[in-house]
Structures are given as C-alpha cells and as structure tokens.
Amino acid sequence: MDEFTEYIASLDGSVRDAVERVRARALRLVPAAEEGMSYGMAALRYRDSPLVSARATVKHIGLYPFSPPAIEALAPELTGFSTSKGTIRFTPEQPLPDDVLDRLILLRRDEIDAMRSH
C-alpha cells in the first residue's frame, strides 16, 4: 500500500523531486499519515481522511490539500500561484515556500483532528 511512493517513482527528474518534497514534508509534520488513495489520486491519509496529494500535469504540479478553507486561509501567501477551490498549482522552478507548504499541511491536519474529535 505505497500508492504515493509508487506514483512518485513513476515521475522524472525535477517533477519527481518536487512531488517527493511534498510527501516528505507532510510525513515529517504528520508522522501518523499513511499512503493510500483519495478521490482517485495517490495521497497521504490521516485518521481515515485525505491529508494531501500532489499530481503532475504537463504544465504544473497540482497540490491538493482536500480543503478549500485551508487554501482560503493562506490566500495572501499564494500570490503568484494559480489556485482554485481545491488546488494550488506550482512548478519545480517555482515551488511553494517551505513555510507555506508546512502551514497548509498543518491546517489540514488540524481540520481532520477537529472533525474526528466530535
């Protein structure tokens, strides 16, 4: 059940490194996260909920925190990145800054914890 690791291994070069960076930072911040599938994508899951995924396309890498409120909360720091309700798009040449990526992951973790505590 190493779906995310297998997906990353299928990528090449700087794209692989950029997606692996997301996975590695998420696992460092949320060591209880596990690899799995969410919405048809290889992802990290935490407490039976999707935590984060990153998928490469021809033009960018989509970062999926599975949380429109988390993206909205960081909107001021996402200037220069293309975003939608559920996605932040970046490239290996213009990655999300570490502190923004970390805060996004931690916001999503905290959402899941709050949801599971009720």
Query: What pTM does this model have?
Result: 0.94
Average pLDDT over residues 90-115: 97
- The yes-or-no verdict on residue 107 having pLDDT over 70 is yes
Name the residue ranges covered by the structural domains of the chain: 3-112
Closest CA to 105 of 67, 79, 59, 57: 67
What percent of the chain lies above the pLDDT cut of 70?
99
Q: CA triplet 88, 57, 6: central angle to 5 degrees?
A: 100
Give the pLDDT of residue 58. Answer: 92
CA distances for 74 relative to 1, 66, 83, 90, 106, angstroms: 31, 14, 11, 15, 12
Is 98's pLDDT higher than 90? yes
Q: How far is CA 117 from CA 27, 103, 110, 113, in A?
A: 21, 21, 10, 6
Cβ atoms of residues 88 and 11 within 8 Å: no
User: Residue 117 has what pLDDT?
Assistant: 85
Instruction: Find where tokens 């990145």 sit.
Output: 81
d(CA 60, CA 96): 12
pLDDT of residue 1 exceeding 60, the answer is no
- pLDDT, mean over the chain: 95
Q: What is the pLDDT of residues 24-46, one digit of tens each?
A: 999 999 999 999 999 999 999 99
Strands 82-83 and 41-46: unpaired
* CATH match for 3-112 among 3.30.1490.100, 3.40.50.300, 3.90.1150.200, 3.40.50.150: 3.90.1150.200
pLDDT at position 71 over 80: yes
pLDDT of residue 118: 72
